[in-house]
Amino acid sequence: MQILAYGVQTDERPLLESAFAARHELRCLEVTLDRDTAPLAAGHPAVSSSVNAELDAATLAVLAAGGTRLIAQRSTGFNNIDLAAAEKLGLTVARVSEYSPYAVAEHAWALALAVNRRLLRAATRTRDFDFRLDGLLGRDIHGMTVGVVGTGRIGTAFARIAHGFGTRLLGWDVAPARACLDLGMTYTGLDELLASSDLVSLHVPLLPDTHHLIDAAALARMKPDAILVNSSRGGLVDSAALVENLRAGRLAGVGLDVYEEETGVFFTDRSIHGVTDDVLARLMTFPQVIVTSHQAYFTRTAVGQIIAATLRNVDDFAAGRRSENVLVPAEA
């Protein structure tokens, strides 16, 4: 089967090509899949999209008109895909149901530790041979109260690391996770978690009910010296409200691997022309904020698992099989 893969990172490409070489004809593109790049897929029965693809109804219509029948997304999240439109167009949509939760959990902790100990500022200073400690005072993680918003596989992995630091664990989810209860986690309402936690990490999917879960009201409930980490989906946080809190001197640190308007910016080089998103530009001016470019999943282990699952999805489609990764068509 001929497959066109969009949004392929430089380090990802050889892994993709090696995995698909024996069974399918694969072409890789760096550009993200959207309505402008969708015509490139004409004649390809399958496309593989990255997490930042814009698969709205217009993009899907172009793909379907060009002969595409399968969209194999290389991510777990699918809030960027109009599933109803895909079904109407007769497209099959599959995702990667799961991959290493440790990749994301470890990156979330890397962000938390970096903002807590001001590592970015410290490293920048020492490169200029400035060895002062002014403004670099952090806190012990040991003894902190850590709030884990969403205790699925990634949230549980994050909680295990937190437990290793010797923290008090609070959790919020629709149902408690046995593994988190075994760590001593106490489940609370979201308001109580935000008000009581020294560090809050987000690990819930982006759904209508979770859009701007952390809004101005939620931010106001947090401790003024709390740390906020988001490695899940950008839309969980009201970015404009976050900027206002930071301008008011609230929050000791913010680590973001995702941003609600990241599409078309993350995974691209804006070093020459800069960004036109004023909120993102403002966020990155605060010394206690670190932004990474949706890279939490980007480990050799996790990417290998994502590629293997994507290959299985293509094989299953070619063989007429259905797996738990198929989102469209819906189960009868």
Tokens of 154: 């990634």
Q: Are residues 178 and 262 in the same domain?
A: yes
Residues 305 and 323 in one domain: yes
pLDDT surpasses 90 at 114: yes
91 & 110 share domain: no
Q: Is pLDDT of 97 > 60? A: yes
Going by pLDDT thresholds of 50, 70 and 90, the confidence category of residue 132 is: very high
How far is CA 327 from each of CA 67, 73, 81, 311, 314, rounded to the nearest angstrom? 19, 10, 10, 16, 14
Q: Among all residues, which ones are annotated catalytic? A: 233, 262, 294
Same domain for 12 and 55? Answer: yes
Question: Which range marks the domain in which residue 41 is found?
Answer: 2-99+299-328
Q: What's the structural domain count of the chain?
A: 2
Query: Are 76 and 205 in the same domain?
Result: no
Q: Nearest 5°: phi and psi at 115?
A: -75, -35
Q: Provide the 10 A C-beta neighbour count for residue 206.
A: 20
- Mean of pLDDT over the chain: 96
pLDDT tens for each residue of 236-250: 999 999 999 999 999
* pLDDT value at residue 273: 87
Same domain, 164 and 133: yes
Cβ neighbours around 184 below 10 Å, total: 11
pLDDT above 80: residue 330: no
* pLDDT tens-digit series, residues 250-288: 999 999 999 999 988 999 999 998 999 999 999 999 999
130 and 278 both lie in a single domain: yes
CA dihedral 194, 199, 203, 208 (to 10 degrees): 30
Q: Are 234 and 261 in contact (CB under 8 A)?
A: yes
Model pLDDT, residue 331: 63
Considering only CA atoms, which of 177, 186, 289 is closest in space to residue 243? 289
Q: Is the domain of 112 the same as that of 72? A: no
Q: Calculate Rg over the CA atoms of the chain.
A: 21
Same domain for 163 and 213, yes or no, is yes
Contacts of 165 (CB under 8 A, 6+ apart): 141, 142, 144
> What's the whole-model pTM score?
0.93
The full 3-state SS of 40-87, as one line of letters, equals HHCCCCEEEECCCCCECHHHHHHHHHCCCCEEEECCCCCCCECHHHHH
- Which has the minimum average pLDDT: 36-40, 106-110, 185-189, 269-273? 269-273
Domain at 6, CATH number: 3.40.50.720
**Mean pLDDT of the 92-106 span:** 97
For the stretch 39-79, pLDDT in tens is 999 999 999 999 889 999 999 999 999 999 999 999 998 98
Domain match, 123 and 235 both: yes
In a shared domain, residues 27 and 138:
no
